[in-house]
Amino acid sequence: MKAVILSNIFILANQIASNLKRKLDIESLVITNPLKREIKVSNLIPDDVSLVIFDLPSQEVKEILEDLKENKGARKIIVLGNDDSYKDIVEIVKMGVDKYIKKPFQDELLIRVVKELFSQQASAMEKVDKGGFITFARKVGEVWVVTILGCLEEGVINRLESMKIDTNKVVLSLNGVSVGCLNVSELDKVIQFFRDRQIDVRYIVVREKIRGLLLERGVGEELIFTNEVLAIKSFS
Amino acid sequence: MRIEYINPFVEATFEVLSEILKEGNLRRGELFLKRSPTPNYGVSIIIGLTGPASGRVLLDMPPNTAKKLISAISGDEVKDLNDIGKSALGEIANMIVGNAITKLYKKGFTFALTPPTVITGNDYTIDTPQIETLVVPVIFGEDKLEINIALKEA
């Protein structure tokens, strides 16, 4: 997980950062004070950041959230509030904040909140891509479970790349792919995507047509399952 | 609730059930509205939606119907609704949702969805406050399933 803390109180931000790094699997954590200089939101919060913690006066929080609203994506946003009015809190929460925590708070509370937010990520909403598909991805132990629903069209590979799959074990469910808009060349690209990265894939497929296409492309029958539990178990 | 949002889920459910059960004698029961939460049949699949309309679609069925569906896709007779069975139900839900979003997309409606969630148990209710729920019963042989659609225009 990559995280950013936007704070104008360096000592507190530093304390929060060291606590998060100690207790959670944080790949990188940046502390920035946006009040010090004019910085674009896109520079403050790069695309690959999945957790943003605000520790700023409410007016600044609102301004940054306003700029961020189009690009929130699956990021989790936590606001650490101070003496904000009820009206401010309501406005902030309505702007896409996942959790508002009133200060002072116990360190353990923030850790618990972050853990809860990321455990909920599997049920986060995903929007239909312009290719007519939705992808869901979540990690179960060492296995990434990826689901494609709707059309299998151009753009799926970009989605797979953006998932930043960090293991060599993937379960890919293709049951939600509509046979009527399955672009076979995109299926080839998906298979090749995993082969190029030497990722071991188990496919979940019930539909005969998709099963047949996989077999024609050299996917072994032993790699095709009817449900996720059996597919994950097959790695052990 | 606009019919354009409802029909894709109903059609997708019929198509997928016909496909996996390999039978064409599915029929639609009489539609009705639920105004308050009522006890569920024991096995539910929930999909959350936002976009032109927000709410949820819930497929609700008795355990025996769920077992029949699981048996149909796994090829083995299923006696218990264990993790493997629930996972298989999740795949059936993926098939239905995948078909439905394709139909919606082709009509120009772009929604955001949650992954389907399977819930089983004897004593639970699922409530969507302030949204009327349209119930579409699907009957096949002695089995039944209800499609509950509760969507509110954005």
Q: For residue A120, is pLDDT > 60?
A: no
Q: Which two tokens stand for residue A112?
A: 């618990």
Q: Which of A21-30, A51-60, A207-216, B58-67 has the lowest mean pLDDT?
A: A21-30
Is the per-residue pLDDT at A203 higher than 90? yes
In this structure, are residues A6 and A55 in contact, taking their beta carbons and an 8 Å threshold? yes
CA separation, residue A103 to residues A56, A76, A83, A84, B18 (Å): 12, 19, 8, 10, 56
Dist. CA A91–CA A209, nearest whole Å? 50
Enumerate the residues of chain B whose CB falls inside 8 A of the CB of residue A127: 51, 110-112
- Best probe of the A interface among B17, B105, B119, by most A CBs < 10 A, is B105
pLDDT of residue B28: 92
Chain-chain contact of B115 with A122 (C-beta, under 8 angstroms): yes
CB contact under 8 A, A227 and B102: no
pTM above 0.80, yes or no: no
Q: What is the pLDDT of residue A119?
A: 63
Q: Which of A122, A149, A230 sits opposite B98 (nearest CB)?
A: A149
B45-78 burial, b if ≥16 CB within 10 A, otherwise e?
A: bbbbbbbbbbbbbbbbbbbebbbbbbbbbbeeeb
For residues B98 and B84, what is the distance between their CA atoms, to the nearest angstrom?
21
Of all residues in chain B, the one with the smallest CA distance to A175 is: B95
Q: Domain of B56?
A: 3-153
Q: A45 pLDDT exceeds 80?
A: no
Residue appearing with tokens 């298989």: B88
Tokens for A25? 């699997």
DSSP symbol at B6: H
Bond into A57 cis (ω within 30): no
Q: Can you tell me whether residue B64 is helix, strand or coil? A: helix
Query: Cα distance from A137 to chain B (closest Cα, Å)?
Result: 10
Inter-chain CB proximity B74 and A227 less than 8 Å:
yes
pLDDT at position A19: 87
Split into its structural domains, chain B has a count of 1
Of the ranges A79-93, A114-128, A203-217, the best mean pLDDT one = A203-217
Of A172, A120, A161, give the one whose Cα is nearest residue B114. Answer: A120
Q: How far apart are CA B133 and CA B57, in angstroms?
A: 9
- Which of A73-87, A144-158, B3-17 bottoms out in mean pLDDT, i.e. has the lowest? A73-87
Which chain B residues contact residue A176 at CB under 8 A?
Answer: 94-95, 97-98
Residues near B9 by beta carbon (within 8 Å), at least 6 away in sequence: B57, B96, B100, B147, B149
Size of interface A-B (CB pairs under 8 A): 92
Separation between Cα atoms, residue B147 and residue B87, nearest integer Å: 19
Min Cα distance A10 → chain B (Å) is 37
Question: Is residue A187 within 8 Å of residue A205, measured between CB atoms?
Answer: no
pLDDT at A123 over 60: no
Mutation target among A120, A126, A128 for the B interface, most CBs of B within 10 A: A128
B57: CATH: 3.40.1550.10
Distance CA A180, CA B61 (A): 28
Burial class (CB in 10 A: 0-12, 13-18, 19+), B154: exposed
**For residue A132, which residues of chain B lie inside 8 Å, CB to CB?**
101-102, 105-106
CA distance A147 to A140: 13
Q: Cβ(A29)–Cβ(A4) under 8 Å?
A: yes
| Rounded Cα distance, A62 and A68, in Å | 10
Q: How far apart are CA B81 and CA B63, in angstroms?
A: 8
What pLDDT band is residue A48 in, cutting at 50, 70 and 90?
low
Which 98-137 residues of chain A touch chain B by CB within 8 A? Answer: 122-128, 132-134, 136
Cα–Cα dist B143/A144, whole Å: 35
Lookup: tokens for B71? 């048996």
Per-residue model confidence (pLDDT) at position A42:
64
Of residues B72 and A120, the one with the higher pLDDT is B72
How many other β-carbons are positioned within 10 Å of the β-carbon of residue A120?
11
Taken in order of first residue, the domains within chain A and their CATH numbers are 2-122 (3.40.50.2300), 129-233 (3.30.750.24)
Instruction: Give A205 to chain B, closest Cα distance, Å.
Output: 9
- Please list the ranges in chain B whose pLDDT falls under 70: 1, 36-39, 122-130
Query: ipTM score here?
Result: 0.89
A179 touches chain B (CB under 8 A): no
Residues A174 and A184: beta-carbon distance below 8 Å: no
